[in-house]
């Protein structure tokens, strides 16, 4: 009987909005692959939504799954612009199946923020960001030439879906686990958890720390930001870079887009994607020239184990382990963005607990990139 009344209520609900709108957009999301997608973000150009419903009110619409009659979490993505660029939807789609979603003119439920990013002037120009799985930071100019200076991407491990960055900086005791994780990852003078730098004359040519930052979007489902760097000399090549980084709810990896400009005219610039390694004799590494780098660190006392990794759709020229880091060597074109994905996982978070699970995650991530969900709007 309860199920009967629920169906009647849902039918009346949908019908009432159908009469309230002359036309409502229908979104179809198809998963043609054999990989189940769970809580992933789908990006739909806002121009497609406007074409289907030119009068849509950005402050008053919700997206509903036609068959389950449940609301789908969404975010309007601006990418630093004044106008909406994309509609982001968090969905799950089984292998070889599809979703049918309907947009209604109604007030949506508030979405609990699952991502966050900010400049941290109170901690020597850090820039920190996180999602419901993991957290990261990059170092700014105020840290240069100090005893704490480091080059690459730092990791803050966590075992809570709550956002922790502000609380940890406020307490200023984040090197100790107070129940939700900590910062024990060591970057040093390496690329850390998937940083990139020019690789010229068989050496990594590091930049200084970032100079300026700009938040482009800040949750609830995706946070993105941009970092700019001063020009530096990479063994005779003058180089500048702008890094655009985004993190999605539910993902262990960041999307990193690097735009290099350099003085070597008519040539591509060799670059390295790096993962900081430790001093153990036999390292647990995945070095795949098809575009996957993975490393599972040794246990760090009571702090646990961190895995770091990087994924690209481009083949690597080489993938090697050096004394302090594993490197994947590729190249970038002058003033052409290069996109790859990098991040980390912590065994004490309980989702990924050993090297096999971490390497499988990275391989699955690349396979998902090769077979994106297909979206149509009408």
**pLDDT tens-digit series, residues 129-178:** 999 999 999 999 999 989 989 999 999 999 999 999 999 999 999 999 99
- On the question of pLDDT at 6 being above 60, the answer is no
Q: Is the distance from CB of 174 to CB of 123 less than 8 angstroms?
A: no
Residue 7 pLDDT: 45
Mean pLDDT of 272-291: 97
Strands (E), 59-97: 62-65, 71-72, 74-77, 86-93
Q: How far apart are CA 108 and CA 9, in angstroms?
A: 18
- On the question of pLDDT at 16 being above 50, the answer is no
Residue 264 pLDDT: 87
**pLDDT tens-digit series, residues 70-86:** 999 999 999 999 999 99
Residue 1 pLDDT: 44
**pLDDT tens-digit series, residues 198-256:** 999 999 999 999 999 999 999 999 999 999 999 999 999 999 999 999 999 999 999 99
- On the question of pLDDT at 18 being above 80, the answer is no
Instruction: pLDDT band for 9, please (50, 70, 90 cuts).
Output: very low
Q: How far apart are CA 276 and CA 322, in angstroms?
A: 10
Give burial (CB, 10 Å; 0-12/13-18/19+) of 61: buried
Q: How far apart are CA 229 and CA 346, in angstroms?
A: 30
Which domains does the chain possess?
2-108 (2.60.40.1180), 116-370 (2.70.98)
Q: How far apart are CA 167 and CA 203, in angstroms?
A: 38
Q: How far apart are CA 287 and CA 310, in angstroms?
A: 10
Q: Is the distance from CB of 340 to CB of 346 less than 8 angstroms?
A: no
Instruction: pLDDT band for 266, please (50, 70, 90 cuts).
Output: confident
Residue 22 pLDDT: 54
Query: Is 282 strand, coil or helix?
Result: coil
CA angle (183, 189, 192) in 5-degree steps: 50
Mean pLDDT of 276-304: 97
Q: How far apart are CA 297 and CA 185, in angstroms?
A: 10
State the average pLDDT for the chain.
94
Can the peptide bond before residue 220 be classed as cis, meaning omega within 30 degrees of 0? yes
Q: Is the distance from CB of 320 to CB of 300 less than 8 angstroms?
A: no
**pLDDT tens-digit series, residues 21-37:** 456 899 999 999 999 99
Residue 11 pLDDT: 43
* Lookup: tokens for 81: 């612009």
Mean pLDDT of 262-268: 90
Residue 24 pLDDT: 84
């Amino acid at each position: 009987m309860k199920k009967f009344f629920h169906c009647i209520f849902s039918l009346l609900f949908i019908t009432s909005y159908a009469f309230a709108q002359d036309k409502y957009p229908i979104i179809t999301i198809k998963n043609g692959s054999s990989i189940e997608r769970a809580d992933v973000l789908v990006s739909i150009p806002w121009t497609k939504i406007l074409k289907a419903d030119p009068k849509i009110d950005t402050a008053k619409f919700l997206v509903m799954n036609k068959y389950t009659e449940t609301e789908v979490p969404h975010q309007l993505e601006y990418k630093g612009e004044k106008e909406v660029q994309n509609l982001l939807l968090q969905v799950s789609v089984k292998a070889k199946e599809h979703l049918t979603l309907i947009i209604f003119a109604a007030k949506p439920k508030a979405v609990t923020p699952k991502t966050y990013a900010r400049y941290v002037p109170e901690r020597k120009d850090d820039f920190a960001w996180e999602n419901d799985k993991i957290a990261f930071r990059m170092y700014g100019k105020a840290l240069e030439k100090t005893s704490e200076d480091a080059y690459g991407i730092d990791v803050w491990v966590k075992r809570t879906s709550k956002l922790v960055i502000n609380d940890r900086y406020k307490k200023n005791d984040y090197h100790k686990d107070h129940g939700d994780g900590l910062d024990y990852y060591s970057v040093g003078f390496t690329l850390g958890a998937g940083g990139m730098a020019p690789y010229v004359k068989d050496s990594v040519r590091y930049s200084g720390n970032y100079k300026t930052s700009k938040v482009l979007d800040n949750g609830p489902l995706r946070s993105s930001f941009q970092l700019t760097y001063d020009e530096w000399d990479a063994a005779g090549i003058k180089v500048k870079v702008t890094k655009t980084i985004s993190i999605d709810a539910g993902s262990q990896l960041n999307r990193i887009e690097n735009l290099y400009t350099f003085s070597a005219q008519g040539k591509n610039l060799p670059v390295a994607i790096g993962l900081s390694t430790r001093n153990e004799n036999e390292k647990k590494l995945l070095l795949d020239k098809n575009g996957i780098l993975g490393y599972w660190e040794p246990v760090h006392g009571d702090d646990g184990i961190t895995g770091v990794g990087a994924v690209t759709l481009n083949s690597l020229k080489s993938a090697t382990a050096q004394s302090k880091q594993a490197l994947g060597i590729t190249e970038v074109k002058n003033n052409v963005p290069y996109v790859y994905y990098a991040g980390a996982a912590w065994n004490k978070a309980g989702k990924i607990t050993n090297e096999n699970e971490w390497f499988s995650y990275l391989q699955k991530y690349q396979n998902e990139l090769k077979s994106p969900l297909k979206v149509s709007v009408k």
